[in-house]
Amino acid sequence: MKSYIIPEFLVERDDHHCIRCEVCVRQCAFDVHRYDEEEDEVFAHEDKCVGCLRCVTLCPTNALVVRDNPTRVPANANWTREVLHNIYKQAETGGVLLTGMGCDKEYRNYWDRITLDASQVTNPSIDPLREPMELRTYLGSKPDAVEIGGGRGRHELETRLAPQLRLETPIMFSALSYGAISYNTCECLARAAAEVGTCYNTGEGGLHRDLYRYGGHTICQVASGRFGVHADYLEAAAALEIKIGQGAKPGIGGHLPGEKVSEEISRTRMIPKGTDALSPAPHHDIYSIEDLAQLIYALKEATGWQKPVSVKIAAVHNSAAIASGMVRAGADIIALDGIRGGTGAAPTMIRDNVGIPIELALAAVDARLREEGIRNRASVVVAGGIRSSADVVKAVALGADAVYIGTAALVALGCHVCQKCYTGKCNWGIATQDPYLTKRLNPEVGTRRLVNLLTAWSHEIMEILGGMGINAIESLRGNRLRLRGVGLTREELDMLGIKHAGA
Amino acid sequence: MRPPGSRRRARGKAGGVETVLRGIRFRDDKDFSGCSIFGMMNAAGRRFDGAPMLTAIANMKERSNGLGGGFAAYGIYPEYADLYCFHVMYGDEAGKRETEDFLAANFSVEQAEVIPTSACDGVSDAPLLWRYFAQPREANVSACEMEDPDDFMVQAVMRINADIDGAFTFSSGKNMGVFKGVGFPEDIGRFFRLDEYEGYIWVAHGRFPTNTQAWWGGAHPFNILDWSVVHNGEISSYGINQRHLEMYGYKCTLYTDTEVIAYAVDLLVRRHGLSVADMAGVLAAPLWEDIDRMPPRERELHTALRQTYGSLLLNGPFSVIVSNLSQMIGLTDRIRLRPLVAGRNGDWMYLSSEEAPMHLVDASLTETWIPSGGEPIIFQLREPAASREGVEAWGGAAV
């Protein structure tokens, strides 16, 4: 069947610059570039180009330009190129539209409508290069009060706190499963988390044996498919996370195609090689809140009550009430994943239309837990579209204890957000299991890039905190007075619990 | 909780009363101000009148601008030492009537009287100032399922201040009182005739607010039960401190940093039973790098305090004097962005923004020092005040 889809990108090659080195030919797993020996020329199949810019980045002579195809479908506000292409694709295949990464639609990004405060005159700003500036964060359930034994020179802690996860910066790497991403990517995340003193999350794909040594910085996920969940796996982790939902695809499960299930993945996930790994939409042992409580306690019991248990949900309409129930069910950490949260594969319609922005969910959950007087009983971690240190600061000021970054971490490793993770052909060696591609990501270099990113963001957070006259992150957490909205409606401001700029 | 017998009146009806008493016409996030603070105590419990306090605070005039001054004095009502003393300011008779109805319904009031004042240059537009010596009615306390009359008192103060238009309780302890208003502190002291009171702990405050809308309730000290706070600085963590305290039933209606400190102290020491030293370890917590170097038990304790009470860490520049019937405590922020000097001469103890006023009121004073950032200075009565039971249990490391 002839495809009606017009190429999204044009590949332009400057013949004066091109030295026929064929780097582009070798680098493109989508087979866009082809060298014709007879003509001594490199040609491009532009219809195959996904816009990942691997070829452009690696071309030694800067001979390549990949740009949007300026050919327009007839102008129409409703029937855009994307809409038409989606329909053509489905007419040609009869399938569900698939995509990768997070929602790319223009739902209002509240981070960009919030500005931060700084000290002027009445209090001094603090110079983080000269004064201490503390970002250390502990995740886990906190008591209402601590009891200290007094009398006769005794001065001892009598309250035993629930287990806590220590982070040197309030930024963690989000759940990215082995299978969706390559082993090398997992290794980069694990090593960088260990070096910086934070945590990464295994996602639902289990934990490769070789990465157990970074267990002190690993959050091991238990999802509906229970892939790779066994006693050693739980034991290896610093904390556990029950994955109920994911911002990119709330309410649905996952599907790792059999082609991706290699020997190593088969062993790690504990499924036969080459079989599809299907995560059911719900946990089939959690059909209500009391079932969640049972799983939380089962995991705590299995690990001797030594590890905090997180529960991750997609940010949906009633997140506040759900989060309250989760805290009461014994969750030590509430992880919220917003509509912009990424994924290795999701149905496009779900990714782009289900869930709510993380900013609103966070504001609602933090406020609700405070109204109920249980905010201290769980930490709140947010994910889904955190792009910079400024986003982190705003999230913490809205009420988050820490953030997860997924997309930003992958971008640090080379990802250009082409949204084709589900094809398994990632030219950057990230979302693929093809050995020819995965070796492109050098764990040494990748680790360095991730450590640099977290170091840079942490420095920026310190600068912003210092400007506010604050020298510990806990004085920012939930401190919404240091935020102002710009161009938001009354209703939005009320939901975010902040004032408009100028007020 | 609203104590029974109370009536809720529609809010916001009297614009005039709002601005005079509830005051804050400019709805800033909170009040911003710089200040002078001074505290003086006799550890033997010997009582002295307020005259040296006026001398001392007047010597730091440059630190205030005439828009707020105040004092707290302990041991001034020995004849009513067992009764709570309400100091209340009223914008109008209606507020007074409603407050007195509320008091009559919930307390047995032994004595109600005008707080004596004398006309004084520099002090004008004073509200009606009354004081009441009272005991909560047992039936009312138990009806609210409270064991501790102190809890009932806190709720009663919150209720009057939040719900009754034109009334503001600015002092609610036993055998102590707060006197404050708009003016330079030495003028406010003369206005309240403080040379006629004798106490063993006195603290004073001169205020330099940045907005021009000064109001009587907004002056320092802030008080709840017998805890009083005078404060110089700005709490940059105010937003989260306030939200945390709200979880425990404290309504921060005044938009001042100082109010937050008073409630935090009440929560930590009275309700959660922390020692004053541990309270200081929360409000001006040690740095993590210092905690990491502590011996194991101490490290565990301070780690738990910061983990649990991180939302009560006071961040931003401050120096503060917190006092109760037995103690006068000085504390600065962790990196000491506002001044505090301590002094001692036998039983005489001093805390001040500057050193000069201490020498001015005590010519033989020689021992003075500057505490480190976050290091609490705890001056303690040699014999705990009688009307405060269990006060020994709070003893931090007394200086």
CATH code at position A203: 3.20.20.70
Q: Who's near B67: CB < 8 A, 6+ residues apart?
A: B182, B207, B208, B209, B212, B214
Q: Is B35 one of the annotated active-site residues of the chain? A: yes
Helices (H), chain B: 15-17, 51-58, 93-106, 138-143, 149-163, 185-191, 238-246, 257-265, 276-283, 288-291, 296-309, 356-361
In a domain, A400, yes or no: yes
Look up the pTM and report it: 0.91
The CA distance from A195 to A175, in Å, is 18
- A168/A91 same-domain check: no
Chain-centroid distance of CA B127 in Å reads 20
Disruptive mutation site among A121, A123, A374 for chain B (greatest number of B CBs within 10 Å): A123
Q: What is the pLDDT of residues A440-496, one digit of tens each?
A: 999 999 999 999 999 999 999 999 999 999 999 999 999 999 999 999 999 999 999
pLDDT for the residue numbered B192: 97
Q: Which residues of A touch B246 (CB under 8 A)?
A: 370
Query: Where are the domains positioned within chain B?
Result: 29-392
- Residue B29, pLDDT above cutoff 80: no
B30 contacts on A by Cβ (under 8 Å) = 481
Letter for the amino acid at A38?
Answer: E
Within chain A, which residues score under 70 in pLDDT? 150-153
Asked whether the beta carbons of residue A469 and residue B234 sit closer than 8 angstroms, the reply is yes
Domains contained in chain A, number: 2
Q: What percent of chain B has pLDDT over 90?
A: 66
Q: From the list B246, B304, B308, which residue is nearest A370 (CB)? A: B246
Q: How far from the centroid of its chain's Cα atoms is residue B144's Cα?
A: 26
State the burial class of residue A278 (Cβ atoms within 10 Å of its Cβ: 0-12, 13-18, 19+). middle
For residue B12, pLDDT over 50 is answered with: no
Are the C-beta atoms of A159 and B325 separated by less than 8 Å? Answer: no
Q: Is A159 in contact with B304 (Cβ distance < 8 A)?
A: yes
**Domain that includes residue A57, residue range:** 9-95
Residue A269 lies in a domain: yes
The beta-carbon neighbor of A469 closest among B236, B240, B300 is B236
Residue (of A380, A404, A406) closest to A477 by Cα position: A380
Which residues partner with B345 through β-bridges? Answer: B348
Nearest-Cα residue of chain B relative to residue A482: B239
Asked if B211 is an interface residue toward chain A (Cβ–Cβ < 8 A), one would say: no
As assigned by CATH, the class of the B29-392 domain is alpha beta
Cα angle A477, A369, A371 (rounded to 5 degrees) comes to 105
Are residues A301 and A209 part of one domain?
Answer: yes
Quote the CA–CA distance of B114 and B25 in Å, as a whole number. 28
Q: What is the mean pLDDT of residues B300-304?
A: 96
pLDDT given for residue A152 in this prediction:
60
Instruction: Answer yes or no: do A389 and A285 share one domain.
Output: yes
Nearest to A138 among B237, B307, B309 (CB): B307
DSSP B266: I
Taking the CA of residue B35 and the nearest CA in chain A, the distance in Å comes to: 11
Which residues touch B90 (CB under 8 Å, ≥6 apart)? Answer: B21, B96, B99, B127, B128, B129, B130, B166, B167, B168
Q: Is any Cβ of chain A less than 8 angstroms from the Cβ of B272? A: yes
In a domain, A112, yes or no: no
- Out of B239, B287, B310, the one facing A474 most closely (by C-beta) is B310
Q: How does strand B167-171 pair with strand B84-90?
A: antiparallel
**R_g of chain A, CA atoms, integer Å:** 24
* pLDDT band per the 50, 70, 90 thresholds, residue B10: very low
Give the residue-averaged pLDDT of B301-319. 95
Q: A422-445 pLDDT, tens per residue?
A: 999 999 999 999 999 999 999 999
Residue A105 in domain = no
Mean pLDDT lowest for which of B4-8, B68-72, B80-84? B4-8
In a domain, A298, yes or no: yes
Q: Is A65 helix (H, G, I), strand (E, B) or coil?
A: strand
Domain-located, residue A288 = yes
Residue in A304, A262, A237, A194 with CA at minimum distance from that of residue A229: A237
B368 in Cβ contact with B341 (< 8 Å): yes
Which chain B positions have a beta carbon within 8 Å of A150's beta carbon? 275, 393
Interface test with A, best of B30, B266, B307, B319 (most A CBs within 10 A): B307
Give the DSSP H/E element, type plus range, for residue A448.
Answer: helix A443-468
Is residue A118 assigned to a domain?
A: no
In this structure, are strands A379-383 and A333-337 parallel, antiparallel, or unpaired? parallel
Identity of residue A164 = Q
- Residue A344 in contact with residue A180, Cβ under 8 Å? yes
Alpha carbons A420 and A428: distance in angstroms, whole number: 11
